[in-house]
Structure 1
Amino acid sequence: MTATVGHSRWLPFPDTEGGLRLYCLPHAGGSASAFRPWIGRIPGVSVLPVQYPGRETRLRENPHVDIPSLASELAEALLADAQDAPYAVYGHSFGALTAFEVLHVIRGLGGPMPSHLIVSGFSAPQSEDFADDAVTDEEIVALLRDLGGTPEQYLTDRRILKMIMPPLRADLTAKVAYRYMPRPELDVPILALGGVEDQQATYDSMRGWADQTTAGFRLHPLNGGHFAVLEQQEETLRVIAGVLCRSGD
């Protein structure tokens, strides 16, 4: 299945596997390239990294500064791409919150729901405190340094910071502005991947995602911190494959 012009902006990499489609939503300030190494690594599953506006192939577009508008546009793009094909949605950190809202939009539209919601690096939305976050450039750099996953040379190079700061600031603005709204639980199984050393989204706080589904919940530990899912790629893909391949049987 080939993406049409209308939503190919969201999916910059081609379908390589066919079968179940796994849409991967990156962290705050992140881009589709974060998940490019996953492409072709799960047999029978097409890993499709999502590109938010304002970065990489969409650098000239304005990034969203609120999650509802981002989730609404992305939901329509994913439905247009998936059509009748089975699919799952994965989000890391900011991407997990966005994925959660995307599923609620899809349910509201009456669209087909995914086989799974997979989340990592973000506490259950009903338990998160969205009031405080980094606001100045210095605070944002300090946050990135604490979280890890960003090369130190990027954090000290003004040219690189000038490029990555606008989408990152937009995503953080959207996160701070977010207000959780209680709604009926999703009828979609949730797999949560938790870094046991993650200080931002602690392993125990990931258990709260169980309250967002009526269809089953699993929490899997990964060695490492906030970006354990990327640092422990083999283990991450093994766990995801185990869940998605069973659902496609």
Structure 2
Amino acid sequence: MTDAERWFPYRPDDAPVRLYCLPHAGGSASAFRSWLGAVPGLAVCPVQPPGREGRHREQPYAHMRDLVRDLAPAVLADVAGAGGGPYAVYGHSLGAMTAFELVREIDALGGPRPVHLLVSGCGAPPLCGGLEGLRPIRDMSLEEIAGLLRRLGGTPEWLLANQALLAMVVTPFRADFTVKENYRYVPGDPLDVPVTALAATDDPRASVADTAAWEAHTRAGFTLRTLMGGHFAVLEQPDLTHKHIAAALQPWL
């Protein structure tokens, strides 16, 4: 398996713009599989972190710094391999934090910047991190993690109720939340990349106000869009999400 196949398991059709999509904690590239071909002119490239699906034998990351240090060169190589055209980055929840740090790492490497950063399910960097009031996920039992996932939403009950199946998916979940718990925002200059933030009206993890605070992290333009619903509204309402993505990327599509 090549480096590109490991990180980007779903190869998109040719299109003017590539969109690298980073999943939520415990999520995988397949969360965005249905997005392939959904937006005309957009080549959706779901990102597959190690420790899940086709990379289940690989050790997941425990620190954001290590993750983006490895991911940034893979993205830049993929962009170059596609002809060096415009690309954007999207992330949901933990994926939004990763997307932000990925853009910073690409900038530090001197690589071509994305034309847009899109985030959802996550307050601005100083306002996101571990889950307040909870002991570390790595110390939780399987039953405690099942209870936490029920409260967060987005995980089917049939999986949560099956101990054998839950044990199979809990490793990347523990690892991703360890990344989240270990994350410390380091202040820096605002991005020279426009940002669109999608906020859900009833998201207990990222309020509309906390999501609006992303505006302070770009000097290239900011747009806030709202959706009705909870933490996974962007995945539950793909047509509306795709409409907002298309509007953000319209100049390049």
2:101 alignment counterpart = 101
Q: Counterpart of 1:36 in structure 2: which amino acid? A: R
Q: Counterpart of 1:7 in structure 2: which amino acid? A: A
2: CA distance between counterparts of 1:216 and 1:94?
23
- What SS does the corresponding residue of 1:9 show, helix, strand or coil? helix
Gaps of 5+ in 2: none
Q: Which aligned pairs between 1:69-84 and structure 2 lie closer than 5 A?
A: 69-83=66-80, 84=84
Deviation at 1:245, TM superposition (A): 2.1
The number of aligned residues is 245
**Aligned counterpart for 1:140 among listed residues 118, 139, 145:** 145
CA offset digits 1:74-105 (Å, max 9, x no partner): 11110000011210000000000001110110
**Aligned counterpart for 1:158 among listed residues 163, 184, 191:** 163
Deviation at 1:18, TM superposition (A): 2.1
**Aligned counterpart for 1:28 among listed residues 21, 25, 28:** 25
- The answer on 1:57 being equivalent to 2:54 is yes
**Aligned counterpart for 1:226 among listed residues 224, 231, 244:** 231
2: CA distance between counterparts of 1:100 and 1:163?
29
Gaps of 5+ in 1: none
- What SS does the corresponding residue of 2:243 show, helix, strand or coil? helix
- What SS does the corresponding residue of 1:22 show, helix, strand or coil? strand
Would you say the 8 A contact 2:121–2:232 is kept in 1? yes
Would you say the 8 A contact 2:119–2:198 is kept in 1? yes
2: CA distance between counterparts of 1:78 and 1:107?
12
RMSD after superposition: 1.4
Deviation at 1:131, TM superposition (A): 6.8
Q: Counterpart of 2:147 in structure 1: which amino acid? A: A
Would you say the 8 A contact 2:20–2:44 is kept in 1? yes
2: CA distance between counterparts of 1:101 and 1:63?
17
Would you say the 8 A contact 2:129–2:183 is kept in 1? no
**Aligned counterpart for 2:204 among listed residues 195, 199, 208:** 199
Distance 1:131 1:144, change over 3 A: closer
- The answer on 1:47 being equivalent to 2:44 is yes
- What SS does the corresponding residue of 2:7 show, helix, strand or coil? coil
Would you say the 8 A contact 1:194–1:202 is kept in 2? yes
2:16 alignment counterpart = 19
Runs of 4+ displaced beyond 4 Å: none
Identity %: 50
1:185 alignment counterpart = 190
Of residues 151-160 and 128-137 in structure 1, the stretch that sits farther from structure 2 once superposed is 128-137
1: CA distance between counterparts of 2:40 and 2:177?
34
Would you say the 8 A contact 1:130–1:179 is kept in 2? no
Q: Counterpart of 2:181 in structure 1: which amino acid? A: V
Normalised by the length of structure 1, the TM-score is 0.95
CA offset digits 1:132-186 (Å, max 9, x no partner): 4452133322221112111111111111111110000000011101111001110
Deviation at 1:129, TM superposition (A): 5.0
- The answer on 1:90 being equivalent to 2:90 is yes
Would you say the 8 A contact 1:17–1:40 is kept in 2? no
